[in-house]
Structure 1
């Protein structure tokens, strides 16, 4: 195969890795493009394993970009949440399951708690089934260090996820009940659907009104939705859909998508809510005046 055909064969894998590493569609596309430029410019006569070379290049470029992004995010207004690759208004169960595996917005938000190399090691091991002998030279670390990084990352990720698997239909039904309760401003019903120590993270990016710090506690979160209900705008409608394959609440204003919400739950109560309202990440380009108040 020529250079372009070889690269295109591996492009989907490179994008999948870069997106999971960075949580940004546009940044992942940039990493894949930079990997292509390096591949094009390198002497490939001595490369025996094209996939290994490309994955190594993409991972190292991704780690560098993630480090730079984290410095930039220190000036971001409010919490930073990942950018979705797919928002589906009418998802089918089969497609949702296929897309959601390891790319759910909630899962990517949990990965934000990991350091760049720790995140790369964890993803290569858990999502792409690389062994430690492959990961070590790729990251320039010993196998022992990679094992420790993956072990620490696994513990931190598991701490932020449900302790047992939740059937997708149960999670969806719970989120739908939450949507109905929030839409009518029913504080007791909202609080009952949340764990007592529930957490709400909202990303408006300074472009629309949003909670600029994580909101903790079922009662406080219920009050927020009650306050939003009291300011109710008749132009706003809510519906269920999917974001990156996982069940999500989609909010529209005059038919335009203004926010999406995903959650982590045990199937009976919600432990974390993630609201994305930054129009740049939703591909909308609306102004703060257009966007209205966020959750």
Structure 2
């Protein structure tokens, strides 16, 4: 196959390869690097007899991803800490664009759960449950038997299923987020307790990494320390789910972005970005509708 035909054949698979790598690595920049490395390896094997190019490329990208994940683990790094792929933030309205974002994005909450998986579990889960790659191929990628690959995916699936996911329709989730916003503005702590799960998890992504706080009391304490008069906030869509964007009332600069997970009528998880420099460079909705 000449170089032009090889490039054309590769481009037919590029979108899927990037999608696999984004879900495996949680970073579009890392995913693009992985796919580019796959292209370089394909060039080196241009004269080989490759019966199934799509399968071959998936295996190569998978092995590159597993190497990246293992390297992160050995350096105690996290995609959450580096997180080069910013969430998609839009107006919280119903439309095809919003549905596409929800389907294609790796949400903040899911990224947290994926980071808790071992590299082999994470890749096995993504390849099988998201892209329907056979376990026999996954085993080759992660260096395990077919049965061991099934076990890896099963363990990962259980951890993912333990993650609280939205259980209400979008309208109901919006109502919970709006109730939280109103109670925080009014300093109505009784109303806040009604919309917060007692074990709510609050993840804060800062310029220096991320922190985790657990329990409604932690969140209430933060609200008590704040001054509602100095903040303007409204509901937006963060990776296709209802969230909150807050600005400093005086300067109008964005100061916090929150993605909200609602289950059984209460907030069970809040993922927030409070890195001012990062928020300033993101593509965010305007302060006022």
- Equivalent positions of 1:237-276 (< 5 A) are 237-253=232-248, 254-276=251-273
Distance (whole Å) between structure 2 residues aligned to residue 29 and residue 251 of structure 1: 31
- Taking structure 1 as the reference length, the TM-score comes to 0.82
Q: How does 1:119-268 map to 2 (within 5 A)?
A: 119-162=122-165, 165-206=167-208, 213-229=211-227, 233=230, 236-253=231-248, 254-268=251-265
User: What CA distance in whole angstroms lies between the structure 2 residues aligned with 1:44 and 1:282?
Assistant: 47
**8 Å Cα contact 1:84/1:105 also seen in 2:** no
TM-score by length of 2: 0.83
Q: Residue 284 of structure 1 aligns with which residue?
A: 281
2:286 counterpart residue number = none
CA contact (8 A) 2:78 2:115 kept: no
Q: Distance in 2 between matches of 1:184 and 1:192?
A: 14
Secondary structure of residue in 2 paired with 1:43: coil
Residue deviations 1:126-164, cap 9 Å, x none? 1112232332223221111011111111111111224x7
Specify whether residues 183 and 67 from structure 1 end up closer, same or farther in structure 2 by C-alpha distance, changes over 3 A only: farther
Secondary structure class of the residue paired with 2:234: strand
Query: 2:258 aligns to what SS in structure 1?
Result: strand
Aligned-partner Cα distance in 1 for 2:73–2:185: 35
- 1:81, CA displacement in angstroms? 8.0
Q: Corresponding residue for 1:292? A: none
Q: Distance in 2 between matches of 1:24 and 1:134?
A: 24
Distance 1:259 1:46, change over 3 A: farther
Check whether the contact 2:177–2:243 (CA below 8 A) recurs between aligned residues.
yes
Q: Contact 1:252/1:258 (CA < 8 Å) preserved in 2?
A: yes
Which whole-Å CA distance do the structure 2 matches of 1:142 and 1:279 have between them?
A: 47
Assess if the C-alpha contact under 8 Å between 2:66 and 2:142 holds in 1.
no
3-state SS in 1 of match to 2:225: helix
Compute the displacement of 1:256 (Å). Answer: 4.3
Q: Secondary structure of 1:240's partner?
A: strand
What's the secondary structure of 1:45's corresponding residue? coil
User: Stretches of 4+ moved more than 6 A in 1?
Assistant: none
Q: Distance in 2 between matches of 1:17 and 1:117?
A: 14
8 Å Cα contact 1:197-1:271 kept in structure 2: yes
Q: What RMSD over aligned residues (CA atoms) do the two structures have, in Å? A: 2.7
User: Does the 8 A contact of 2:21 with 2:61 survive in 1?
Assistant: yes
In the superposition, relative to structure 1, how do residues 108 and 55 fare at CA in structure 2: closer, same or farther (>3 Å)? Answer: same
Per-residue deviation at 1:85? 4.7
Task: Give 1:106-117 correspondences, 5 Å limit.
Answer: 106-117=109-120
